[in-house]
Copies of this chain bind each other. A is one copy, B any other.
């Protein structure tokens, strides 16, 4: 009998292939289903029953693998947030020219979010309703040395150097970071509003994103000129 529970648990002995779970690891199936349902309904709106059905497993198994609904919710939020945060921060802290970093971040961000278009709404909702979740994650990242603080400090030095050389506006790195992320992420979170208000739905939204991916780097770079 294996010890269940815990956030960082991983498969420790294959299941016996019960009749219901057609393939692969049950725990993974549950986690994927939970991601789908939590992202769609929000943490409070999600139902364990619906997650079980989405995963095609018995509802009691959710508690076997993850202790509680909150355990599942935390696991899902971690995964979601770490999918749209760290890589971009890393890119932004590289030693390429700022213009190159901007282009990389914009392209990468929009590409990732096109594959997970509902993540921003979910993450922003969670941030608002469960702000404590992000705090724990930030602590870990900082402890690992992946901390965004160093990245921001380096970015600030680079911006200041370019400004001193008369090549750019002087701008606080925090403002720069927020501008960049806002312009990439917000359109996804606001998608339902754009669809309802200005008919930016379905294929129109895809075209909008394609144009945005191409134009946004230039928009930001022009805004940085002195």
Residues of A in contact with B (beta carbons under 8 Å apart) = 40-45, 85, 118, 121-122, 124-129, 131, 134-135, 137-138, 141, 148-149, 152, 169, 171-172, 174-175, 177-179, 181-183, 185-187, 189-200, 208, 211-212, 215, 218-220, 222-225
Chain B residues whose C-beta falls within 8 Å of the C-beta of A182 in the assembled complex:
182-183, 185-187, 190
Nearest chain B residue, comparing its CB with the CB of A179: B183
A-B contact pairs, 24 of them (CB 8 A): A42-B129, A43-B45, A118-B128, A125-B128, A127-B189, A127-B190, A128-B189, A128-B192, A134-B193, A141-B197, A149-B198, A169-B222, A178-B194, A179-B183, A181-B190, A182-B182, A182-B183, A182-B185, A182-B187, A219-B223, A220-B223, A222-B222, A222-B224, A222-B225
For the complex with contacts A128-B192, A137-B196, 16 further pairs of A-B residues with Cβ separation under 8 Å are A41-B129, A121-B127, A121-B129, A122-B128, A124-B128, A124-B189, A124-B190, A125-B125, A128-B189, A134-B192, A134-B196, A149-B199, A169-B218, A174-B200, A179-B183, A182-B187
